[in-house]
Amino acid sequence: MPLSEMKRQTIERGVEDRAKTPFAANDFLKAMRALFQWARKGKHIEIDPTEGVKGFPHKTEGFHVWTDEEIARFKARWPIGTRERLAFAVLLYTGMRRGDASTLGRQHIKDGTITFRTQKTGQQVTIPVLPKLAAVINATKTGDLALIATQDGHAMTKESFGNWFKDACKAAGVPGTAHGLRKAGATHAAEHGFTEAELEAWFGWSGGRMASLYTRKANRGKLAVAAARKLNIKATSIP
């Protein structure tokens, strides 16, 4: 078997061995491809063994993640005391999906802790009531079995909750959705040092895939900031 074919098969096995972590598999392939393209360009090899080796398809980012500016704009439009601000606080400070947020009630809160079972995965989640969320709840007229209740005191379905919150976003001039706010919460948590295990416990995930996505992005951001500092140091030292 030609040496180039052996190298290609080795690279394919390296990608396949990382199948459970597609991003890691693609990063491995990118690194190998860059290496062998450099080697070929320098005439160290004649054939690039990474040619024809396929990685894993990239999925889209999905829902728009709220920016800090959008969060500030929503707060300005919907002050504390409105149902819209309460929904915002629940989504951001608990990381709940819309179905769980729409049914969150006082029966789920005890001694400063929220305990509930997620509708989507059945995972039991136990998280603290953060001070900012407690302040909004205490200042808002709520329902009992559903904090974010309709005018007659009933809980909304996840669909009606999602549509109602989307209308509130439009009124505030932001392109956000309920799920995008959950993603913003996960992003902030990862950027503030949450581990993958902590992210899974807070957001009701399992399997490591979603948690690793957020920690990976957060780590990439920290590396970029560190690199920028190094570049600045080198730039200022140039005579």
**Nearest of 86, 83, 25, 91 to residue 58 by alpha carbon:** 25
Instruction: Give the pLDDT score at 168.
Output: 96
Cα gap 31→59, rounded to integer Å: 20
What confidence score (pLDDT) does residue 232 get? 62
Question: For the domain with range 68-203, which CATH number is right: 2.170.130.10, 1.10.443.10, 1.25.40.10, 2.60.120.620?
Answer: 1.10.443.10
Instruction: Say what the pTM is.
Output: 0.63
Helix axes 22-41, 209-236, angle to 10 degrees: 40
| Number of residues assigned to the chain | 239
219-233 core/surface letters (b: 16 or more CB in 10 A; e: else): eeeeeeeeeeeeeee
Domain residue spans of the chain: 1-59, 68-203
Q: What averages of pLDDT result for each successive group of 10 residues across the chain (239 residues)?
A: 67 72 75 82 83 69 81 96 96 91 94 92 89 95 89 87 94 90 84 82 78 72 67 53
The predicted-structure confidence for 42-52, as pLDDT tens digits, reads as follows 888 888 888 87
CA proximity to 57, closest of 26, 102, 95, 101: 26
Nearest C-alpha neighbor of 180 from the set 93, 77, 84, 97: 97
Query: Structure tokens of 22?
Result: 């597609």
Task: Please give the Cα distance from 167 to 84 (Å, whole number).
Answer: 10
Full strand arrangement of the beta sheet holding 113-117: 109-110, 113-117, 124-128
Count of CB atoms situated within 10 Å of the CB of 57: 7
Q: What is the pLDDT of residue 238?
A: 47
The tokens of 160 are what?
A: 């009606």
Each residue of 142-158: pLDDT tens digit? 988 899 988 787 889 99
Q: How many CA atoms lie within 13 A of 19 on its CB side?
A: 5
* pLDDT attached to residue 239: 47
